[in-house]
């Protein structure tokens, strides 16, 4: 099977070039001015072709909570949002903290229509499992309470886990960000700090001069503040919580100053009914809205395309050493997002592909949308529809 994406403006080395992309056997074969013959042609005239987004932080809920999401529905949401690869979190039922649980999850993820990788969970006594786990993006450490039961308080245990992982992803809030950095200092390994949400957390994350500290923030912390709680209540509740306008501005500042490395969704779907209970769960879905929110910010001159590609494609690939992804390059995997910067429409709950079918951004009018997603050379999202073509697990450069 070959595919030619014609007449688009292709993002390459920081600029847009008018080129055709010839894809064969799942790879980008040629980026060319020639009009090569292919089995299928997509005319991308007037559109921009980006590397497919890599979302480093999603909760697909499988196994154990498939009433909220599963790998098929979640991956359709990803495809609709220009996300061609995601890294799944381990707070499932059962949690992904043993090699056996990881292998089970690998089987379940086969129904994903975008590419995927896995973060492996940590407990007070699973160091051996961590060492035996193959082909994982990182070891996830929970230092604060959230969905699941994986919080670890004991600093000695944490220190041991940090030194067992080449790269640890951590859910740490407030001063725990500083604690996490201090723990990794001795371990000298990499640390990926998930969902930085405030000025204070960003300051803690960037205070030390040690290398290998990577910082993630989320669309909800960039576009919403705690004021949203007045209107949306539990539907705007996640961990870490939404903060003030000043915090939100500090995060944007962090993007301009390169203090933030990635934007990831923390896609954490829960059903509407669950959100309406007294003991509602934390988390919001985000796979379908991240790219349109960011493209709209580009149209508003708040962001550049170069930043977006750095934050959502190139840096995720670099930080987690994901093989052959994140860039539009000959020989790389044919994972692409085709976007229309002029298309303007509303986010609508009823049109979402996530199983939970709601978004904190419902009703937001956004300009700039993905119109097609190519995964391993297949158009898995096109003309508003997702197609059931199975994708694969990523590998990492070691
Ligand atoms: O709000 C959140 N929801 N934060 C997390 O850290 C976990 C997530 C979930 O799994 O629901
Ligand atoms: Zn978290
Ligand atoms: Zn999360």
| pLDDT tens-place string over residues 12-51 | 999 999 999 999 999 999 999 999 999 999 999 999 999 9
Q: Per-residue pLDDT averaged across 367-391, rounded?
A: 98
* The pLDDT of residue 287: 99
- CB-ligand 1 contact for 356 (6 Å cutoff): no
* C-alpha separations of 158 from 134, 164, 217 in Å: 21, 10, 23
Query: How do residues 119-136 score in pLDDT, each as one tens digit?
Result: 999 999 999 999 999 999
Instruction: Quote the radius of gyration of the chain (alpha carbons, Å).
Output: 20
Q: Where in the chain is the domain with CATH 2.30.40.10?
A: 2-49+331-386
Atom 3 in ligand 1: residue holding the nearest Cα = 283
**Would strands 15-24 and 190-193 be described as parallel, antiparallel, or unpaired?**
unpaired
Angle CA(126)–CA(127)–CA(133) in degrees, nearest 5? 90
Q: Where in the chain is the domain with CATH 3.20.20.140?
A: 53-319
Q: Per-residue pLDDT averaged across 100-109, rounded?
A: 98
Identify how many contiguous H helices and E strands the chain contains and give both numbers.
13, 17
pTM assigned to the model: 0.98
CA torsion 193-198-203-208 (nearest 10°) is -10
Decide if pLDDT at 149 tops 90: no
CATH class of the domain comprising 2-49+331-386: mainly beta
- CB-ligand 1 contact for 283 (6 Å cutoff): yes
- CB-ligand 1 contact for 286 (6 Å cutoff): no
Decide if pLDDT at 184 tops 80: yes
Decide if pLDDT at 147 tops 90: no
Share of the chain above pLDDT 70, in %: 100
- CB-ligand 1 contact for 119 (6 Å cutoff): no
Query: How do residues 324-345 score in pLDDT, each as one tens digit?
Result: 999 999 999 999 999 999 999 9
- CB-ligand 1 contact for 265 (6 Å cutoff): no
* The pLDDT of residue 171: 98
Mutating to test ligand 1, I would choose from 146, 169, 241 the residue with most ligand atoms within 8 A of its C-beta, which is 146
* The pLDDT of residue 209: 79
Output b/e per residue, 106-123; b: 16+ Cβ within 10 A.
eebbebbbbbbbbbbbbb
DSSP 378: E
Å from CA of 366 to ligand 1 middle: 26
Q: Per-residue pLDDT averaged across 69-97, rounded?
A: 98
* The pLDDT of residue 148: 85
Task: Report the Cα 55 to chain-centroid distance in Å.
Answer: 2
Atom 2 in ligand 1: residue holding the nearest Cα = 283
Considering 101-115, 174-188, 198-212, the range whose residues carry the highest mean pLDDT is: 101-115
| Atom of ligand 1 at shortest range from CA of 281 | 11
Decide if pLDDT at 186 tops 90: no
Closest by Cα among 207, 193, 88 to 137? 88
Average pLDDT, the chain: 97
Å from CA of 358 to ligand 2 middle: 20
| Atom of ligand 1 at shortest range from CA of 283 | 1
* The pLDDT of residue 326: 98
* The pLDDT of residue 154: 94
Is domain 53-319 in CATH 1.10.3720.10, yes or no?
A: no
* The pLDDT of residue 27: 98
């Amino acid at each position: 099977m070959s595919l030619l994406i014609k007449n688009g403006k292709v993002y390459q080395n920081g600029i847009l070039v008018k080129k055709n992309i010839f894809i064969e056997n799942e790879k980008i074969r040629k980026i060319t001015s020639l009009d090569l013959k292919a089995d299928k042609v997509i005319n991308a005239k007037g559109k921009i072709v980006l590397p497919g987004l890599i979302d480093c932080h999603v909760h697909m809920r499988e196994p154990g909570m498939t009433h909220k999401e599963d790998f098929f529905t979640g991956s359709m949401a990803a495809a609709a949002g220009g996300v061609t690869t995601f890294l799944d979190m381990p707070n499932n039922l059962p949690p992904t903290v043993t090699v056996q649980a990881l292998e089970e999850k690998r089987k379940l993820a086969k129904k994903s229509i975008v590419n995927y990788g896995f973060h492996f969970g940590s407990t007070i006594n699973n160091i051996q499992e961590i060492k035996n786990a193959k082909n994982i993006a990182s070891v996830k450490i929970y230092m604060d309470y959230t969905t699941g039961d994986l919080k670890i308080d004991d600093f000695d245990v944490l220190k041991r886990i940090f030194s067992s992982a080449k790269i640890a992803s951590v859910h740490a809030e407030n001063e725990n960000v500083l604690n996490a950095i201090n723990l990794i200092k001795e371990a000298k390994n990499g640390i990926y700090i998930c969902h930085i949400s405030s000025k204070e957390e960003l300051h803690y994350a960037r205070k030390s001069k040690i290398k290998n500290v990577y910082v993630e923030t989320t669309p909800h912390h960039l576009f919403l503040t705690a004021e949203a709680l007045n209107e949306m209540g539990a539907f705007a509740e996640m961990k870490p919580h939404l903060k003030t306008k000043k915090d939100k501005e500090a995060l944007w500042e962090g993007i301009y100053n390169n203090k933030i490395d990635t934007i990831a969704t923390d896609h954490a779907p829960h059903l509407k009914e669950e959100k309406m209970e007294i003991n509602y769960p934390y988390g919001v879905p985000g796979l379908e809205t991240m790219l349109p929110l960011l493209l709209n910010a580009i149209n508003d001159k708040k962001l550049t395309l170069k930043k977006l590609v750095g934050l959502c494609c190139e840096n995720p690939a670099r930080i987690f050493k994901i093989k052959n992804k994140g860039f539009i390059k000959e020989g790389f995997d044919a994972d692409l997002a085709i976007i229309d910067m002029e298309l303007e429409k509303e986010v609508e709950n009823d049109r979402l592909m996530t199983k939970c079918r709601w978004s904190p951004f419902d009703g937001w009018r956004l300009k700039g949308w993905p119109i097609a997603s190519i995964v391993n050379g297949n158009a898995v999202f096109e003309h508003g529809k997702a197609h059931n073509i199975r994708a694969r697990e990523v590998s990492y450069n070691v």
